[in-house]
């Protein structure tokens, strides 16, 4: 990764990973209003998956690099599953801590009472969040910013800031939760460089409270 052409592809990839998603979703809300139907939800998810596909194309065809360059390395499935479960447990603990702190400080808790699609569609939503957000904000952004800046701190903090700001529609409480959970996910990625485990942990922390537990009433 030394040519000027590769750098241009990398800057384009960073735009896709850190800016294009929230920008596209904001444009969708401006044109169609809040997502409040199953078709609108599916359209949103399709658009985000399309961005992820474009970023994969940038890595493979533009930068001419293998997928392990964004953290998708060959690791034993058992180790990845255990690490993913460990990440999920850490996220649960961090969630309880930040929600408790918000309550003590007098902030309202994050409000998730908007449109809730059927369980199958909601599963697709949380699956996309786990896969795409980790690919964008951890795997691609951290690896490429570390290469460009030679600084692990810059590589960790810029994507974390963008991840936090992407949740601005939920106000301070939502951004606080995003910052804390994003920091946990960033820590584990910087430590283990196992993007699949990050994806699993992220998926589980969304799936369990939003899909699994409500299915039991």
Q: What per-residue confidence (pLDDT) applies to 116?
A: 85
Determine contact, residues 175/165, Cβ cutoff 8 Å. Answer: yes
Q: What per-residue confidence (pLDDT) applies to 64?
A: 94
Q: What per-residue confidence (pLDDT) applies to 31?
A: 82
- Higher pLDDT: 103 or 1? It is 103
Q: Per residue, what are the HEC states of 77-146?
A: HHHHHHHHHHHHHHHHHHHHHHHHHHHHHCCCCCCCCCCCCCHHHHHHHHHHHHHHHHHHHHHHHHHHHH
Provide mean pLDDT across the span 99-125: 87
Residue 1 reports pLDDT greater than 60: no
Determine contact, residues 197/188, Cβ cutoff 8 Å. Answer: yes
Residue whose token pair is 């701190």: 153
> 56-81: per-residue pLDDT in tens?
999 999 999 999 999 999 889 999 99
Residue 153 reports pLDDT greater than 90: yes
Over the chain, what is the mean pLDDT? Answer: 93
Q: What per-residue confidence (pLDDT) applies to 2?
A: 58
> 27-53: per-residue pLDDT in tens?
888 887 788 899 989 999 999 999 999
Distances from the Cα of 194 to the Cαs of 93, 94, 191, in angstroms?
Answer: 21, 20, 9
Q: Global pTM?
A: 0.93
């Amino acid at each position: 990764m030394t040519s000027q052409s590769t750098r241009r592809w990398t800057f384009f990839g960073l735009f896709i990973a850190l800016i294009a998603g929230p920008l596209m979703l904001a444009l969708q809300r401006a044109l169609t209003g809040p997502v409040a139907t199953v078709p609108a939800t599916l359209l949103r998810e399709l658009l985000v998956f399309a961005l992820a596909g474009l970023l994969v194309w940038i890595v493979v065809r533009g930068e001419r690099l293998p997928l392990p360059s964004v953290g998708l390395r060959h690791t034993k499935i058992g180790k990845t599953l255990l690490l993913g479960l460990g990440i999920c447990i850490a996220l649960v603990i961090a969630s309880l801590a930040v929600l408790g702190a918000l309550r003590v400080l007098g902030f309202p808790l994050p409000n998730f009472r908007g449109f809730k699609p059927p369980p199958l569609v909601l599963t697709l939503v949380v699956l996309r969040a786990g896969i795409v957000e980790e690919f964008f904000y951890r795997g691609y952004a951290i690896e490429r910013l570390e290469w460009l800046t030679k600084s692990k701190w810059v590589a960790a903090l810029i994507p974390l800031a963008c991840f936090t700001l992407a949740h601005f529609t939920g106000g301070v409480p939502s951004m606080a939760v995003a910052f804390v959970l994003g920091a946990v996910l960033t820590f584990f990625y910087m430590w283990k460089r196992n993007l699949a485990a990050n994806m699993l942990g992220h998926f589980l922390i969304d799936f369990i409270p939003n899909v699994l537990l409500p299915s039991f009433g």
